[in-house]
C-alpha cells in the first residue's frame, strides 16, 4: 500500500509541536521589537536572550550572554540561516580586527557551498586557500592539515559532519592543529547540532555555525558561536543588532524556536538519536541487499540518521522522481544544488568514478520516522532500482556493462 515517507531530514525537518507552541505567542501576542524600550519590546529582548542561553547550554559555551551587561549578546549571535553564519564566521574573521594580517585559509573539498563559495570568493580577492582532500570515507586527515598550516594561516574551517554522506570529522584533533600555528578553528556544524554531542570548550572550537531547521526548529534562523575575545567584521550593516555583526530586526519567534529546538534535541539526544540510528541501521541493511550497491561515507563515525548509497547503472534523478511517485521524499547528490547535472563535489572528492557517482541516493531519517517507514523505503528503493535497471542500456544480463555505455557514445 502506498505511504508518504519523508526521508530527507538532512534537507530540512518538520517543526516539532513543542517548538511551534513555544513560537506562537511571539508572533501574535508579544510582537514587540526587541530594540523598543516599552514593555513588549523588552519582553521580546528577554526571549531572545533566553534562546541565546539555551543555545549556550547546549554547546557548553562559556558566556552566551555578555556578563558585563547581561542583556547584550555574548558568544552566541543569531543569523538568518546556516549559510549566513558560515559567511560571517569566515569572511567576518579574516577581514575582521582579530586577524592580524594573516592571508591563508584552510578548508576541505567536501564543505557545503556556503563555506566553499565564501572561500572561492576570498581567493579571487587575493587570499590563499588550501582545499584539503578527504579519504574514500570522507575523512580529513589531521596530518595533512598539519602539513599545510603555517604562521600565515588565519582560519581553518572544517565541517563537523557532511550533509551528503554523513561522515563526522575528528574536530578535537583538527582544532589542536589549527591552534598550534595560531589560527582559529571554525566548524560548519549545521548537520551536526542536535544530532551528535558537541562541546565547544572541550573540542577547542572557536567558531561554530548552526541552522534551526535541521533539528526541528523553523527555517530562516541560524546562529554562530564566536569564542569570547574574537572580533568579526559585520556581514550586514544597519541597526547594530547581534553585536553589530548581523543587523536587522530580530526574528524573535524564530530565535525562540531555535532555542527550544536545540534544548529539546540535546536534552533527549541519547533516546532520540539511539532510535534514529537503529532505524538507519535497519535501512542500510535492507538497501545493501540490492546488488551492485555501495554504501558511501564512514560506516563508523557518521550522523545517526544519514544513509547514503550509490547504485551502479542508475541515474539519481530518475530514482528520485520514481520514489516521489511512490510517496517517498529522498535526495541525490546535494539537496542544496538541485538543478545541477554534475555529480556532487562530495562524491567526486571521495573518489567515486563519475558514472557511479551519478547513481547516488541519500535517505535521511528523523525521530518522526517509524519501522514501517523503513520497510516501505527498502521495498520502494528495491523496486525502483530494479525497474530502472531493466530499462537501462548499461544493465546487461543482470549486471552493469560499461562497454555497452561506450558503444552508445561511439
Ligand atoms: N552547511 C551544511 C553542512 C548544510 O547542510 C547546509 C544546508 O543544507 C548549510 C550549511 C546551509 O544552511 P541554511 O540552509 O540554513 O543556510
Q: How far is the CA of 260 from the centre of ligand 1 (A)?
A: 20
Q: How far apart are the first and last CA of the chain?
A: 43
Interval between CA 2 and ligand 1 midpoint (Å): 31
The SS3 call for residue 342 is coil
Regarding the beta carbon of 362 and ligand 1, being less than 6 Å apart is answered no
Of all atoms in ligand 1, which is nearest to the CA of residue 335? 8
Cell 573540542, residue located: 203
Task: Identify whether the C-beta of residue 351 lies closer than 8 Å to the C-beta of residue 257.
Answer: no
Cβ–ligand 1 contact at 396 (below 6 Å): no
Q: Is the CB of 112 under 6 A from ligand 1?
A: yes
159 lines ligand 1 (CB under 6 A): yes
Catalytic residue among 81, 119, 226, 336: 336
Q: Are strands 222-226 and 76-79 parallel, antiparallel or unpaired?
A: antiparallel
- Ligand 1 center–CA 106 separation, angstroms: 19
Would you give the distance in Å from CA 214 to the centre of its chain?
7
> Ligand 1 within 6 A of 360 CB?
no
Q: How long, in residues, is the chain?
A: 410
What pLDDT score was predicted for residue 70? 76
Q: What is the pLDDT along the chain (410 residues), one digit of tens a residue?
A: 889 999 999 999 999 999 999 999 999 999 999 999 999 999 999 999 999 999 999 999 999 988 777 788 899 999 999 999 999 999 999 999 999 999 999 999 999 999 999 999 999 999 999 999 999 999 999 999 999 999 999 999 999 999 999 999 999 999 999 999 999 999 999 999 999 999 999 999 999 999 999 999 999 999 999 999 999 999 899 999 999 999 999 999 999 999 999 999 999 999 999 999 999 999 999 999 999 999 999 999 999 999 999 999 999 999 999 999 999 999 998 433 455 667 899 999 999 998 899 999 999 999 999 999 999 999 999 999 999 999 999 999 999 987 765 554 44
Task: Please report the pLDDT score of residue 408 as a whole number.
Answer: 47
Structure confidence at residue 338 (pLDDT): 52
Using the atom order of ligand 1, give the atom closest to the CA of residue 334.
8
Q: Copy the grid coordinates of residue 230.
A: 574574537
- Determine if ligand 1 sits within 6 Å of the CB of residue 80: no
Q: Is the CB of 218 under 6 A from ligand 1?
A: no
Mutate to test the pocket of ligand 1, among 165, 214, 258 (most ligand atoms within 8 A of CB): 214
Identify the pLDDT of residue 71.
Answer: 81
CA of 217: how far to CAs of 54, 82, 256, in Å? 13, 12, 9
Label residues 297-308 b or e (16+ Cβ within 10 Å = b). Answer: bbeebbbbbbbb
* 191 alpha carbon – ligand 1 mean position (Å): 7
How far apart are the C-alpha atoms of 143 and 153, rounded to whole Å?
A: 16
Q: Is 280 in the pocket of ligand 1 (CB under 6 A)?
A: no
CA distance 234 to 83: 15
Report d(CA 346, CA 355) in Å as an integer.
14
Tell me the whole-structure pTM to 2 decimals: 0.96
Evaluate: CB of 336 within 6 angstroms of ligand 1.
yes
The CA-atom distances, in angstroms, between 50 and each of 139, 230, 257, 263, 308 are: 36, 22, 11, 11, 37
Say if strands 5-6 and 328-329 run parallel, antiparallel, or are unpaired: parallel
Residues 195 and 241 sit within 8 Å (Cβ to Cβ): no
Q: What is the pLDDT of residue 334?
A: 41
Could you give the CA distance from residue 388 to residue 332 in angstroms, rounded to a whole number? 15
Going by CA atoms, what residue is nearest to atom 13 of ligand 1? 82
CA distance 279 to 335: 22
Which residue's CA lies nearest to atom 5 of ligand 1?
163
* CA–CA distance, 249 with 334 (Å, rounded to integer): 32
Could you tell me the distance, in angstroms and rounded to a whole number, from the CA of residue 385 to the centre of ligand 1?
Answer: 29
403: which residues sit within 8 A by CB, 6+ positions away? Answer: none
* Residue 321 to residue 331: CA distance in whole angstroms: 10
Say whether 181 is catalytic: no
pLDDT of 389: 97
403 CA distance to ligand 1 middle (Å)? 39
Pairing verdict, β 104-108 and 293-295: unpaired
Amino acid at each position: 500500500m502506498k505511504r508518504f515517507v519523508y526521508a530527507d531530514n538532512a534537507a530540512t525537518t518538520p517543526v516539532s509541536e513543542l517548538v511551534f507552541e513555544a513560537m506562537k505567542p511571539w508572533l501574535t501576542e508579544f510582537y514587540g521589537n526587541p530594540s523598543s524600550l516599552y514593555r513588549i519590546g523588552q519582553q521580546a529582548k528577554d526571549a531572545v536572550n533566553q534562546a541565546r542561553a539555551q543555545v549556550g547550554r547546549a554547546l557548553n559555551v562559556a558566556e552566551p550572554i555578555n556578563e558585563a551587561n547581561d542583556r547584550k549578546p555574548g558568544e552566541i549571535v543569531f543569523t538568518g540561516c546556516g549559510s549566513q553564519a558560515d559567511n560571517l564566521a569566515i569572511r567576518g574573521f579574516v577581514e575582521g580586527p582579530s586577524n592580524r594580517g594573516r592571508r591563508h585559509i584552510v578548508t576541505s573539498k567536501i564543505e557545503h557551498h556556503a563555506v566553499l563559495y565564501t572561500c572561492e570568493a576570498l581567493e579571487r580577492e587575493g587570499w590563499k586557500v588550501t582545499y584539503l582532500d578527504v579519504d574514500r570515507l570522507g575523512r580529513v586527515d589531521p596530518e595533512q592539515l598539519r602539513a599545510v598550516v603555517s604562521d600565515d594561516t588565519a582560519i581553518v574551517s572544517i565541517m563537523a559532519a557532511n550533509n551528503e554522506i554523513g561522515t563526522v570529522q575528528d574536530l578535537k584533533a583538527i582544532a589542536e592543529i589549527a591552534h598550534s600555528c595560531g589560527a582559529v578553528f571554525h566548524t560548519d556544524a549545521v548537520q551536526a547540532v542536535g544530532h551528535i554531542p558537541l562541546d565547544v570548550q572541550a573540542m577547542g572550537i572557536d567558531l561554530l555555525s548552526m541552522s534551526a531547521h535541521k533539528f526541528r526548529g523553523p527555517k530562516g534562523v541560524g546562529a554562530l558561536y564566536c569564542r569570547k575575545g574574537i572580533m568579526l567584521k559585520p556581514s550586514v550593516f544597519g541597526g547594530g543588532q547581534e553585536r553589530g555583526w548581523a543587523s536587522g530586526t530580530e526574528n524573535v519567534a524564530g530565535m525562540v524556536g531555535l532555542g527550544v529546538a536545540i534544548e529539546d534535541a540535546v536534552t533527549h539526544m541519547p533516546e532520540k538519536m539511539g532510535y534514529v540510528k537503529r532505524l538507519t541501521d535497519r535501512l542500510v541493511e535492507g538497501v545493501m541487499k540490492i546488488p551492485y550497491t555501495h554504501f558511501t561515507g564512514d560506516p563508523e563515525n557518521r550522523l545517526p540518521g544519514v544513509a547514503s548509497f550509490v547504485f551502479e547503472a542508475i541515474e539519481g534523478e530518475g530514482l528520485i522522481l520514481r520514489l516521489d511517485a511512490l510517496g517517498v521524499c529522498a535526495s541525490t547528490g546535494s539537496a542544496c544544488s538541485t538543478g545541477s547535472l554534475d555529480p556532487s563535489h562530495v562524491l567526486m572528492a571521495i573518489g567515486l568514478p563519475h558514472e557511479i557517482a551519478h547513481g547516488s541516493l541519500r535517505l535521511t531519517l528523523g525521530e518522526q520516522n517509524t519501522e514501517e517507514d523503513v520497510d516501505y523505503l527498502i521495498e520502494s528503493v528495491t523496486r525502483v532500482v530494479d525497474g530502472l535497471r531493466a530499462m537501462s542500456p548499461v544493465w546487461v544480463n543482470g549486471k552493469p556493462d560499461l562497454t555497452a555505455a561506450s558503444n552508445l557514445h561511439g
